[in-house]
Structure 1
Amino acid sequence: MSPASPRYYTVTWDQLHRDSKALAWRLVGLGPFRGVIAITRGGLIPAAIVARELECRVIETVSVLTYEEEARGAPRVAKLPAAAGDGAGWLLVDDLVDTGTTAKVVRALLPKAHFATVYAKPQGRPLVDTFITEVSQDTWILFPWDTEPQFIAPIAKARADGGAR
C-alpha cells in the first residue's frame, strides 16, 4: 500500500457477517467438506460463520505469523492444522488475501484444500479458489476487530485538507 495516499474500506460486523454468509452460499454446492480450517486470526470469525452455514462441526486452525510488532517479516508457521493432512476434502477460510504471502505458505501446507476468502486483492487473488469481494491493492481494509466508532470528516473535507480518506 502506498503510504502517500492510503485508501480505506471499513467493514462493519454486519457487513462481515453478510459477506461471510455470501461466501457460504458460493461454497455450499462444493461440499460437503470434512472440516473447515481457519487461518488465524482474521479467518476465525468468517470460518465460524461459514462452518455454521455449511453445518460443518469440525474446525481446525493454522497460524502463520507475517507481522512481528507491526513490521513485516518472513512468514513463520506457529501452528499446523494437525487433523487436515494435505487438505483433501477440507475448506480453508481467511478474511483476506492481500499480497499472497500467507496464502503461499498455507497453500504449500494444504495443497488439496479448497481456499476461500471473503475479500481479495489483485496480487493474492490467483491463490484462492473462491472469494466474495475484490478491493484494489492500495486499499487498506479496516476490519471491525481493528476499529472503534468515531467521527470521520466527510470525504470532500478530508481531500481539501490534503487527506485521501
Structure 2
Amino acid sequence: MADKSRYQKMFPVSWEQLHRDCRALSWRLVEKGPWKGILAITRGGLVPAAIIARELDIHLIDTICLSSYDWKDQGEANVLKDVDCDGEGWLLIDDLVDTGKTAKIARDMVPKAHFATVYAKPAGRPMVDTYITEVSQDTWILFPWDAASQFVEPIALVQE
C-alpha cells in the first residue's frame, strides 16, 4: 500500500473543470485520428471517455478493467477485464497517470494504442502520449465523483 503522507496537497476538480479539460484533450486528439474506438480504463477513465467519445464522434467504446486504488492507497494492480487487440488505431483513456504502475499494465496490454489522460503526474507522465494538465506528484486529485457538496458555516459564524 502507498503511504498516505505522500499527498501533501489536494487538487479538487469540479464537474465543469473536468468537462473543460476533457474537451481540451479532445482538441489535441482530433488531429491524431481517425480512431477505431476508445478503450477506457475503469473506473477513472469512464467519464473522460464518454466526454471524449462525444467530442470526437466515436461510438465504439470498450473497457480495460484494472483495479489498484482504494481511496488514497495504491496497491497492486489487478486485471479484471482484458481486451483482444493490440490497440492499433485505438485511444486508451484514463483520468490520470500517477506513478505509472497502472499505465504500464495497460500499455503492455495494448502497446499500439494512443494513451491519453486528462491529468498527469511526473512519475507516470512518460507512459502517456497526450495529456492536458500536469499535477505535482505529492498532490491528490479529488475528482467530482469522489466528492460531495456540503454545507459550510459562514465565516462570521465560525469565528463566534
TM-score of the pair, normalised by structure 1: 0.85
Q: Does 1:30 align with 2:32?
A: yes
Displacement of 1:58: 0.4
Which residue of the partner structure matches residue 126 of structure 1? 126
Which residue of the partner structure matches residue 101 of structure 1? 101
- Unaligned 5+ segments in structure 1 are 155-165
RMSD: 2.1
**How far, CA to CA, are the matches of 1:126 and 1:104 in structure 2?**
10
Q: Which moved more, 1:96-105 or 1:142-151?
A: 142-151
Displacement of 1:81: 2.4
For 1:56-135, list aligned pairs within 5 A. 56-67=58-69, 71-82=73-84, 85-135=85-135
Structure 1 counterpart SS, 2:5: coil
1:86-128 CA distances to partner (integer Å, 9 max, x unpaired)? 0000000000000001000000000000000000000000000
- Unaligned 5+ segments in structure 2 are 156-160
Quote the sequence identity (%): 58
Which residue of the partner structure matches residue 3 of structure 1? 5
Q: Which moved more, 1:73-82 or 1:40-49?
A: 73-82
Structure 1 counterpart SS, 2:40: strand
CA gap of 1:149–1:114, structure 2 versus 1, over 3 A, is same
Equivalent residue pairs, number: 152
CA gap of 1:5–1:33, structure 2 versus 1, over 3 A, is closer
**How far, CA to CA, are the matches of 1:36 and 1:57 in structure 2?**
8
